[in-house]
Amino acid sequence: MSGMKEYIEQADDELLPRLVIDAFRRIVVHYGYWFAQVEHQLGMEKAMNVEQEVWDASIGNQLKRLGKTFGFPVENGIPAVIRNMPKADLIDLLEKLGINWLANDGIWFQAVEKTYGMNDAKRCNDTCWTRYSPFEAERIKQLLELPDDGGIPALKKALAFRMYALINKQSIEDVDDNCIIFRMNECRVQAARKRRGLDDYPCKSVGNVEYPYFARAVDKRIVTECIGCPPDEHPEDWFCAWRFTIKT
């Protein structure tokens, strides 16, 4: 009787590297399923609280083992090669990560659309943002140590640290102490469509999920209003605009 480990030991040099990459994939997906089920069973707020504890422990374990394998030191949970990068290089890296994030989102959308059609792709996309937007807001609040009742000042900061902010040009107009108007002046997705001579992608349905969920996660008192978003007509200097008001 042979041990199951022999199958791995007998694998060829082509399969083993692919298996390593697939192991990373399984870790990511398993992590996501855990989060999804905790959110389903216990609710989003409890899931995000648990995820914070899980992430700190999980990433620490994984980086420690990978550091030993690949020979890189880890300092306070961050690989030294990243911690010691010059500021300009870190900002460039963040931009590249933002592009990868957006590409990942687009690949998912197109894969569903190709097989099941636009309606199902938009439905999946919109639902995804009901989960991702509050999660992103919570991560930013933790990183910046923003209070739960930080109001409009907290929202302005949080909007500047979204993944979208790394790759798109956006601006904020201060209406008064309790209200701002946020404009997406340059959108990577819409600009690419424009270069190809295509109409704007009608993203209003997802925007009506993305922005209210994000704002409420920053401060539950904030109300979101769409000023304009494709397929709405809009001026040349912005693609979408949103009004955020805090109810006092």
| DSSP of 101-130 | HHHHHHHHHHHHHHHH-HHHHHHHHHHHHH
Confirm whether 43 is domain-assigned: no
Token pair listed for 205: 């349905």
Q: What is the mean pLDDT of residues 70-91?
A: 96
Convert the pLDDT of each residue in 41-69 to its tens digit.
999 999 999 999 999 999 999 999 999 99
Domain that holds residue 173: 87-248
Confirm whether 77 is domain-assigned: no
- Asked whether 181 and 243 are in contact (CB, 8 A), the reply is yes
Confidence (pLDDT) at 9:
85
Confidence (pLDDT) at 27:
97
Residue 221 predicted with pLDDT over 60:
yes
Convert the pLDDT of each residue in 205-218 to its tens digit.
999 999 999 999 99
**CATH code, domain with 144:** 3.30.1380
Confirm whether 8 is domain-assigned: no
Q: What is the mean pLDDT of residues 97-101?
A: 97
Tell me the Cα Rg of the chain: 21
Confidence (pLDDT) at 2:
60
Residue type, 187: C
- Give the position of tokens 């399923």: 33
Residue 1 predicted with pLDDT over 70:
no
Confidence (pLDDT) at 6:
84
Confirm whether 59 is domain-assigned: no
- Asked whether 79 and 72 are in contact (CB, 8 A), the reply is yes
Confirm whether 75 is domain-assigned: no
Confirm whether 96 is domain-assigned: yes
Q: How far apart are the first and last CA of the chain?
A: 73
Confidence (pLDDT) at 8:
83
Q: What is the mean pLDDT of the chain?
A: 95
* Selected residue with higher pLDDT from 156 and 1: 156
pTM of the predicted structure, to 2 decimals:
0.92
Confirm whether 82 is domain-assigned: no
Confidence (pLDDT) at 152:
98
Count structural domains, the chain.
1
Residue 74 predicted with pLDDT over 90:
yes
Percent with pLDDT over 70 in the chain: 99
Convert the pLDDT of each residue in 138-179 to its tens digit.
999 999 999 999 999 999 999 999 999 999 999 999 999 999
Confirm whether 222 is domain-assigned: yes
